[in-house]
Amino acid sequence: MAQTALNPKGVSPSADWKKWLGVTPFFLFAILFLILPSLRLFIGSFTTEEGQFSLANIIQLFEEKAILDAYWLSIRISAATALGGGLFGFLLAYSVTVGGLPKPLRSALITFSGVASNFAGVPLAFAFIATLGRTGFITTLIKNLFGVNLYQQTNFDLYSFAGLSLTYMYFQFPLMVLIMAPALDGLKREWREAAENLGASNFQYWMRVAFPVLLPSILGTMILLFGNAFGAYATAYALTGGRLGIITIQIGAQIRGDVHHNPGLGYAMAMGMVVVMTISLIGYSWLQKRSERWLR
């Protein structure tokens, strides 16, 4: 009676093949929507409109002040919203995990965070315009109740750096809550009990035990928030109409040809974004590995 051939690990080739079948859609998705577009960006960055090899697009990235300003503006907005969203999100996550707030409130906040962290683009921009625009609900309410015109008396402008940062915060802090809540739950009760037995106060426990353990998770999540804001496009474009020249809007202008039209330069600018995002992801992965040693 014929026997099925086995590989050195004692598993038949057919069983080995079936294990890979389940991840085939993932590899297809990665190839079609990650690897091939990245190759297109890389090749386009070194190609002229006539299809010839050139370094002009890469050189122009470092020589044109408008492009460098666009990168710097995007980095500033991303850093501001990462810090603000990280701090606010951490405090909220702390309140509903170890802070002693009622459990139903935790469920409500986690549900809201799951929805809000994915609420972006044109709907989010429209919601903020309807709320804090020049004739928005909150703007009109403050004017009627307190006689204060936000746009004339406080210099607030929804369509500025501060306004766009505030809009980004709407999906930044919920993402921080979603990631930090499990990390806070991972703090072992034995650590607090050991610190209390050694005479440590609550402040000393957080400064010398809990916070050092959580710091890699906090910093890693802030890096993730930075990348989340750095790659945003639709929200900024719908809110400001291109008034703020962040790098994603500049790339769109180069490729669409509304004002400028140099697809090769647009691809090079996108490659610069890929480099920034790659550095962010490497930092996030490294910090997550450090935090997992303690929070397993």
Q: For residues 204-237, b (16+ Cβ closer than 10 Å) or e, as one string?
A: ebbeebbeebbebbbbbbbbbbbbbbbbbeebbb
Average pLDDT over the chain reads 87
Which residues have C-beta within 8 Å of that of residue 19, sequence separation ≥ 6? none
Contact 104, 96 (CB under 8 A): no
Q: Report how far residue 113's alpha carbon sits from residue 81's, in angstroms, rounded to the nearest whole number.
A: 16
Ordered structural domains, the chain, with CATH? 63-291 (1.10.3720.10)
Residue for token pair 């291109």: 242
For residue 237, the model assigns a pLDDT of: 92
Q: Report how far residue 139's alpha carbon sits from residue 97's, in angstroms, rounded to the nearest whole number.
A: 34
Q: Report how far residue 245's alpha carbon sits from residue 243's, in angstroms, rounded to the nearest whole number.
A: 6
Which residues have C-beta within 8 Å of that of residue 196, sequence separation ≥ 6? 205
Angstrom CA distances, 92 to 95, 110, 184, stand at 5, 10, 11
For residue 112, the model assigns a pLDDT of: 92
Confidence of residue 1 (pLDDT cuts 50, 70, 90): very low
The predicted-structure confidence for 126-168, as pLDDT tens digits, reads as follows: 999 999 999 899 999 999 999 898 888 888 899 999 999 999 9
3-class secondary-structure state, position 47: strand
**Tokens at 92, concatenated:** 């909220």
Q: 8 pLDDT exceeds 70?
A: no
* Residue 241 exposed, middle or buried by CB count within 10 Å (0-12, 13-18, 19+): exposed
